[in-house]
């Protein structure tokens, strides 16, 4: 997403939407490619899709009401939280294997 802002010159809101669209298309392609190798729990998939749709509606509603600066800060907070979560997961995984 930063590349979309820096190199493509997209505004934050458009870069967010584009990023989510690309991630969604990539995830759907990955799922489609794996369908022949796995059994899908369609009940769980339905719950996840429903939760995703609710999250999208919530995100669009809140995002449209937030000023750009607040949206930037919220995005930065989420990205830092995810990065710290990944680091913590890797660290604890490393501790368990050694």
Question: Tell me, what's the pLDDT at 21?
Answer: 87
Structure pTM? 0.61
CA distances 64 to 12, 20, 60, 73, Å, are 12, 16, 6, 15
Mean of the per-residue pLDDT values of the chain: 87
DSSP 7: T
| pLDDT tens per residue, range 24-72 | 899 889 888 888 888 888 899 899 989 989 988 898 888 888 888 898 8
Q: Is the pLDDT of residue 85 over 80?
A: yes
Q: Is the pLDDT of residue 95 over 90?
A: no
State the Cα–Cα distance between residues 74 and 80, nearest whole angstrom: 10
Q: Is the pLDDT of residue 96 over 90?
A: no
Q: Is the pLDDT of residue 17 over 90?
A: no
State the Cα–Cα distance between residues 16 and 48, nearest whole angstrom: 21
Residue holding tokens 């750009």? 68
């Amino acid at each position: 997403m930063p590349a979309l802002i820096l190199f493509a010159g997209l505004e934050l809101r458009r870069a967010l939407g584009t990023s989510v669209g690309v991630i969604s298309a990539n995830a759907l392609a990955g799922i489609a490619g794996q369908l022949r190798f796995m059994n899908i729990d369609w009940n769980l998939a339905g719950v996840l899709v429903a939760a995703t749709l609710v999250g999208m509606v919530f995100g669009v509603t809140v995002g449209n009401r937030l000023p750009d600066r607040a949206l930037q800060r919220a995005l930065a907070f989420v990205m830092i939280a995810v990065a710290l979560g990944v680091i913590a997961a890797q660290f604890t995984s490393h501790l368990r294997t050694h």
